[in-house]
Amino acid sequence: MAFPITVLYTFAGVPVAHHVGEASLLVSEILVAINQPSGNQMAQLTVDCCVRWLAARDSSSVVLQAFLRVLGASVTSSEALGAILEAALEAFFKHTSR
């Protein structure tokens, strides 16, 4: 299942400074799928897709920055929040020297 984030890369008419803000609004809409009742397959599939998609990103990704901005306020399940936040932070700091 492919994650439909590619549409977020078209910010026609939006100034560069507002790309993360615009992406945040769209990411919030996607994350609603995670807040389904416990045991819902759609919620687990959304988490899995987000984690896989985020693994291929780095700190230059506008959408990754949007995920980091809205995750805490958008995801109600602590398990799902932990999985996605871990993937987002790993992606963000991927190229940081140790």
DSSP per-residue codes, 38-91: TT-HHHHHHHHHHHHHHHT--TT-HHHHHHHHHHHHH---HHHHHHHHHHHHHH
Decide if 25 contacts 31 (C-beta within 8 A).
no
Residues 4-30: tens digit of each pLDDT: 444 444 555 666 677 888 888 889 999
Q: How many CB atoms lie within 10 A of CB 48?
A: 14
CA Rg, the chain, in Å? 13
Q: What is the pLDDT of residues 42-92, one digit of tens each?
A: 999 999 999 999 999 999 899 999 999 999 999 999 999 999 999 999 999
Query: Which pTM does this prediction carry?
Result: 0.78
Structure tokens at 39: 């045991």
